Amino acid sequence: MKHLTDQLIQEYLDSREKKFRIEVEDHAVYCPECQEKLEQYRELYAGLSVETEPILENSFNLSALAGIEQLELKRSRKVLATAVSVVGGLSFLIASLIYFNLLSWARAVSGAKSIFSVAVSPVLETVSTLVKELNGNLEILAFAALALILFHLLDHSLVRQKINRI
């Protein structure tokens, strides 16, 4: 007599299809060996469907949401830090231009009839006009640039601290 295979019994228990049911149940009625195997599989399947390990508790939701909020905060601080560093950098550049009197060099370049003059001149003229207007307030501009740089450094260190804490 051909006994039921493990595969056939598992397929029967997985699908409960009629074709398996007839083959498995009809055979098991007359074969104690296969009947025992079938019962063992039934018990095993019942045991496998029982939850044996803890599922995440309700407090988990709050900690996950807190994690998301920290992530969003981190992201917004990063955007702010980038904006501050761009503004700070530009201010520093302009202050440097004034301090080192590079404008005269720029004028010399723009005055030269080089192949680049056409493209470069309008930009230099704009910078020149801007610097002329700001020239009287050199100390204020330098102070503003310094303040922005300090603010950026402070912000950067705060963000780093926060990231480390996360």
Partner 1 sequence: MAGLSYTKDRMTDEHKLIQDILEGDKKAFSELIDRYKRLVSHIVNKMVKSSDDRLDLSQDIFIKVYQNLGDFNRQCKLSSWIGRIAYNTTLNHLGKKQAILWDDISPDLSMDTLPAMSRLLEDEIASNDIAAKIRDEIGLLPSPYNVLVALYHLDEMTYQEIAEITGMPDGTVKSYLFRARQLLRERLAQKYKLEDWKE
Q: Measure the CA–CA gap between 156 and 162, rounded to whole angstroms.
A: 10
Q: Least distance in Å: CB of 161 to partner 1?
A: 20
Q: Measure the CA–CA gap between 25 and 50, rounded to whole angstroms.
A: 25
Closer residue to partner 1 in complex, CB, 32/136:
32
Q: At how many degrees (to 10) do helices 6-15 and 32-48 cross?
A: 50
Closer residue to partner 1 in complex, CB, 42/107:
42
Q: Least distance in Å: CB of 115 to partner 1?
A: 48
CB 141 within 8 A of CB 95: yes
Q: Least distance in Å: CB of 60 to partner 1?
A: 7
Q: Least distance in Å: CB of 25 to partner 1?
A: 18
Closer residue to partner 1 in complex, CB, 60/99:
60
Cα radius of gyration rounded to whole Å, the chain:
39
Closer residue to partner 1 in complex, CB, 104/164:
164
Query: What angle is formed at CA 124 by the lines to CA 121 and CA 126, rounded to 5 degrees?
Result: 110
Residues near partner 1 (CB under 8 A) are 6-7, 10, 36-37, 39-41, 43-45, 47-56, 60-61, 63-65, 67-68, 71
